[in-house]
Structure formats: structure tokens, C-alpha cells
Amino acid sequence: MKFKAQMIASFLKGEIDGNPEVEVENISKIEDGKPGTLTFLANPKYEKYIYETQASIVLVNNSFKPEKPVSATLVRVENAYEAFASLLELYQQSKPQKTGIHNLASIREDAMVGENVYIGDFAVIDSKARIGNNVKIYPQVYIGEGVEIGEGTLLYSGVKVYEGCKIGKNCIIHSGTVIGADGFGFAPQADKTYKKIPQIGIVIIEDNVEIGANCCIDRATMGATIIHTGVKLDNLIQIAHNVEVGENTAMAAQTGIAGSTKVGKNNMFSGQVAIVGHLNIGNDIKVGGQSGIMRDLKDGEVLQGSPAINFKDFWKSSAIFNKLPDLRYQVMQHERDIKELKEKK
């Protein structure tokens, strides 16, 4: 399907700089732009490509001032990245939507299934589960006994939701993710073996949460592990039992949170961040990749390192760390010089 620059600008409430009749039918990266495609410029690092891209339309911020002529038609918007995301969402919604219940799906008689759902091949919906309207359950998904799934939620192939867990509205859960497996609870015994502590709680996932592929969110020992509204989790993330993650917090891949830690709102964790158990993490916190959090954090902290420290102190320390071999050599040389002076006396 083709779209003219004028149509795109109207949808985005933007302004056109160039030919309003130019058409596109696909998207591209700005550095690989081809005729008939739309791209965007948000990061100044990529500005050099706008002068050579062959893309027909480029979304740019209103503040963009070209230093050289640009052959593409520009659509100026408040935020080019957000505008591009809106177009992708529109494109996604325009694609044919899966509906219907496949005859190879297994649905227990006492399960409640809403209207306009899609349930794929070999999906299993166990006893007393409740599936809301417009839910999409792809092939080989397991929905355990008593699970509740809110309307508009999407579960991709291979997702497993253990008994009693609750998932809110308009969530997206990607393939391979397991929700509600037992938390890691074992009591050491006198003979050095371990006795399993039954995990009798659940997982609650609120509305508008997205969870990447192959994540694990463990059920609580008692009560609930809670992922609050608007949380975004990347692939390969571990959330342990009784953890609580606050609204609109985002975590990149391979982040892990140990049991009973409470994470506040609007936090951002880069990849491979590790957080020990039983901590209280405040709001509006940013943590750099491969950091280790071993203490409570106050609102607004920006951290890096393991154990994590203020990011400015971390980078100062890193600069010193790189010089340690030379400093060591200098110290050893000074020790030799001092020894020689003492011997001369």
C-alpha cells in the first residue's frame, strides 16, 4: 500500500518540506535508504546520511536545519522517533489480524473464553482459566488452571503461564517466557541437603506490560510477584519471587533481580544489571550495563559499576584503573631509588 507525504504529514500533524505528492510503500534505515521508502532522523550522529540517502521521505525534528541540500521530502514533526514509532504501529494494525479458535487447541469445558479471540494450534487452556475479549494466544501456549488474561493481550508461541497467575489488559508476552514458575526457595538441612519451600503465591502482571522472549518471572513464596502497569522487559530477564517492579520501569536484556526486592517507578536498567535481594530501589533511577546493585537506592540516582557507585565517580575511577600498570611501575621505581639512597648512606 502506498502513502503520499501529504497523508503522512496529516496523520502526524507535521509540516512538509519538499514534494507533498511523493509516495512510499516501505520503510528503511536512513543509511540504507532506497527510493519509495520512508525513514527518520532523530540521532544527530546519523545526520551525515540525510544528505546522501535515497529514501523518498525522511521524518525529522522541527529543529533540524540542513547544512546542505537534501533530495528527500522532509516531514517535520515535534519528535521524529516517536512519529516513526506511531507509523510503525499504524502499519502493524493494518496487517490482517488472526482470529478464531483452531480445532487442535485444547480448552477445558469450565474455562471462560471471551469474544473475538485467536487461539492457535496445540494451545492449552486449563480449568477455570478466564480469557478476555480480543486476546491472541499463539500455538503451543500453556495457560494454567485459574489463570486470568485481560482483554487485548497477546501471547506468542511457547509462553507458559502457571496456575493462578493474572495478566492484565493489552500486554505483549514473547515466545519462551515462563510466568509463575516456583521461586528459588530451599532451606539448608543439617545433613547439608536442601528442603524445598513450597511456593504458594502467584504472579500479577498489570496492564500495558511488554515482556521479551525467554524471560522468567517467578511466583511468590506467599502473596504475589508484581509487575506494575507500563513495565517494559527485554529478552532473557529473571525476576525472582516476591519482587515488585514499579510503573513504567524498563530493563534491558540479562538483568536479574533477586527475591523480595522492591523496584520503584520510571527506572531504567541497562543490560546485565544484577540486583541483590530484599532491597528498596527508588524512582527515576538509571543504572549502566553490567552493574551490581547491593544497597538501597534513593530517587534519581545514576549509577555504574559493581558494586555500583555514582556514574561520574565510576568514570573517574575507570580512568585511574587504566593507568594502574604505569602507576605500579612508577611506585616500584621509586622504591628502588629510595633503597639505593639508603644503601649509599
Name the grid cell of 269.
536498567
DSSP H helices in the chain:
5-12, 47-50, 80-94, 311-344
Local structure of 234: helix, strand or coil: coil
Q: For residues 256 and 237, what is the distance between their CA atoms, to the nearest angstrom?
A: 6
Kindly report the CA angle at 171 between 42 and 274, in degrees rounded to 5? 70
Whether residue 241 lies in the annotated active site = yes
Q: In what order do the strands lie in the sheet with 154-155?
A: 100-101, 118-119, 136-137, 154-155, 172-173, 210-211, 232-233, 250-251, 268-269, 286-287, 302-304, 309-310
DSSP 31: G
The pairs formed by 83-89 with CB atoms below 8 angstroms and a separation of 24 or more are 83/12, 83/14, 83/40, 83/59, 84/40, 84/42, 84/59, 86/11, 86/12, 87/8, 87/11, 87/12, 87/27, 87/38, 87/59, 88/27
Question: Which entry of 174, 228, 241, 278 is annotated as an active-site residue?
Answer: 241
Helix (H) / strand (E) containing 257: strand 256-257
Number of H helices, E strands in the chain: 4, 40
Backbone angles phi, psi at 142, to 5 degrees: -115, 125
Q: For residues 339 and 70, what is the distance between their CA atoms, to the nearest angstrom?
A: 69
Residue 166 region by backbone torsions, left for phi larger than 0, else alpha for psi between -120 and 50, else beta: beta
Local structure of 148: helix, strand or coil: strand
Name the grid cell of 196.
524445598
Active site residues: 241
